[in-house]
A = this chain, B = another copy of it.
């Protein structure tokens, strides 16, 4: 994908599509987009259905839903609840779950690095029921799916690829669905912590904050994988590229425009390498309040998944169903 090299890196299909539209200025066949909006939430459903669309978008074929709400930057319990319902509903649209299924929820990322900790923090709030099922009275079992959950850690902590650990557990537990929760990188700062993406394509190599080396997909695991992600960072190079773009595109700077419109991709890369020496490894840009924001959005993600998986149960009182 040489030609997209200067494109800001994003894990969001909705952003990949925005960038594509800016480049090609017309609808791309094989990419279907549907948008629902009210005052607080914007839901965008992107479906990529052809190999050509896959190549142009730089994203795997499949369905991607984003639920966005700029208000998520601030503590707002009512908005969180609304967003949680939307996550539950869109989740139900993207996958048809049988009643008696076993589901494995996986929290990807490094719990020690705040912006990468979304997965582990959400997993803590997922209601785990698999070990209780045998204790639930038979007439109530219908309402409760068998949910188990783990945060496997990252390569530097365990010495094992996340994919190895998940693969091993899947072969043992044999779930009918894997849900992988991960922190993502966005291309624009305003989507950070305000957007939840649900995709039926699984997790692909190179995506997420930690830039996975292996994927977690139906192909690799043998069961469907739903990815639920929230952008928590933009790459530092995005800031540099946005600065160049702004120089070129916005009218107040038209006086510089002439010479700049011709900056070649090679020159751009040279500029960015000057600004961002690679000595520190990848640099990430994240809000100072990332800790609180991630806690809030982890509530939304875990709450939405809980609702989607056990629509008939009042979780906190699940013990009443036990005999």
Q: Which residues of A contact B (CB under 8 A)?
A: 70, 73-78, 110, 112-114, 116, 128-132, 146-150, 152-153, 155-161, 164-165, 167-173, 189-190, 192-193, 209-210, 236, 239-240, 242-244, 246-247, 250, 252-253, 255-256, 258-260, 263, 267, 270-272, 274-277, 279-292, 314, 316-320
25 A/B residue pairs, CB under 8 Å, sorted by A: A75-B317, A112-B291, A113-B114, A128-B158, A131-B155, A131-B161, A148-B159, A160-B173, A164-B172, A165-B168, A167-B168, A168-B168, A189-B276, A190-B277, A236-B236, A236-B239, A239-B276, A240-B242, A242-B275, A243-B243, A253-B271, A281-B288, A281-B289, A283-B287, A283-B288
Q: Which residues of B contact A155 (CB under 8 A)?
A: 131
Closest B residue to A233 by beta carbon equals: B288
CB distance from A84 to the nearest CB of B (A): 13
Main secondary structure on chain A at its contact with chain B? helix
- Copies of this chain, count: 4
Q: Which residues of B contact A287 (CB under 8 A)?
A: 280-284
With A246-B274, A259-B255, A281-B289 as contacts: A74 and B319 at CB distance below 8 Å = yes
Q: Which residues of B contact A210 (CB under 8 A)?
A: 288
